[in-house]
Amino acid sequence: MEKYIRVKDLEDAALAILPKNARDYYTSGATEEYTLAENKRAFQRLRIRPKCLVGLTSYNLSTIVLGEKVSMPVGISPTAMQRMAHPDGETANVRAAQANGVIYTLSTIATSSIEEVAEAAPNAIKWFQLYIFNDRDLTRSLLARAEKAGFKAIVLTVDTPLFGLRTADIRNKFTLPKHLKLANFEGQIATKVNSTNDFSALNNVDHYLDKSLTWNEIKWLKSITKLPIVAKGILRGDDAVRAVEAGCDGILVSNHGARQLDGVPSTIEALPEIVEAVKNYNVEVYLDGGVSTGTDIYKALALGARMVFVGRPALWGLTVGGEAGVDRMLNILRKELKHTVLIAGTPSVTDITKEMVRHESTYSRL
C-alpha cells in the first residue's frame, strides 16, 4: 500500500480494475455532471493564508462529534453497494474506520446488512443512513435494527424524492451483479427490491421512496427513536433552519455526490450560507462532496464545518485493497491534514477559523 501516496493514486488504481458497470455507477453524477466537476473545482478556488512563527510545539487533529471523540474530523459517507468494489464491502470499510477512530456511515442500500456491519466492527462509531419509505413499517424496522445494533445516529437523506438521472447508469442499464443483494431488506420487500426481472435493484428501491415528505416527518422519527438525527442533503440556509427547528441535531451539507440534480452549488460553496443561518442554534454542521485532500478538509473546517465525510475515496481504497486500502486512504488524509495544520500555523482543529481562507477573487484584483 505504500506506493499510494495520494487519494488520486488510489482512485486511478481503482478505476483501472473496476468492471465498467460498477466503475460508472461509482463515478457518475447527474446528467451533464457539471456539479460533479464543481465539487472539486470549488475547493481549488479557495486559498489558505498561513500564519508564520506561531511557536508550534504540538498538534491535535481530534474533535468531538455528537458527543463522541474522533481522531480527526473525517468520517466515511454512506455509499451504496460496496461489495461491487470488494468482496468484503461494507464490513472491510467499517473495520478500517474502527481502526482509525473515525465515524462510519452505513447506507440503507448496502450489500452488507446492519447486523453484519455491527458484528464486523463492534467498537466503531457507526451511523445509519435512512430513507423514509412509503411503507412506514419498513422505515421503522430499519431504524429499530440500527438502534439494536449499536448505531449512534441516524443520517436522514432529505434530497431524494426520487433518484437522479445518471446518464452512465442509463446507458449501461445498470443492475446489481446477480451474486449480490441489497442486504438490509427482509421478507417480501427483499424479494421485490432484489428482483432482476424488469428493473435494477436501485429502480426497485426508487419505487418505495416517499415523495410526499415534509419536515413534519422529523417529528415522527423523533417519536420512535432517541438517536440524534442528521439531515443529509441540505444546500440552503433556510432549509438548514427548518431542519433544526424540526428537531435535527446535525446538518450534512451535501449534494449527494452531485448525483441528484446537476447545476446545484458545490457543497463548499453552499457551506458558509448554512453555517451562518444556524449560528445561533445548538447544531453541528458537516460537509461531504469533492473532498479528496488534506487541504480540502482544512478549507471546509475553516468555513465552519465541524467535520467532513468522504465517500468515493473510501470506495477507491476498498477496491484496491479492502480494509487495508481504506486504512491507507484515511492515513493519507491524516498525514496531509497534519502537514496542513502545522504549516498553516493552526495546530489544532479549534485554531482553524474563517480568516485562514480566502476566495481566489480576493487576489485577482492585484
Q: What is residue 229's DSSP assignment?
A: E
- Pairing, β 307-310 against β 125-130: unpaired
**Which stretches does DSSP call E strand in the chain?**
46-48, 63-65, 68-70, 74-76, 103-106, 125-130, 153-157, 229-234, 250-253, 284-288, 307-310, 357-359
Q: What is residue 322's DSSP assignment?
A: T
Which one from 86, 179, 256, 359 is the annotated catalytic residue? 256
> Is residue 179 annotated as part of the catalytic site, yes or no?
no
Beta carbons of 239 and 164 less than 8 angstroms apart: no
Distances (CA, A) of 266 to 19, 77, 251: 28, 16, 16
Q: What angle do CA 111, 151, 97 make, to 5 degrees?
A: 70
3-class SS at 55?
coil
Nearest to 274 by CA among 260, 257, 255: 255
Q: What is residue 357's DSSP assignment?
A: E
Which residues are identified as catalytic? 256
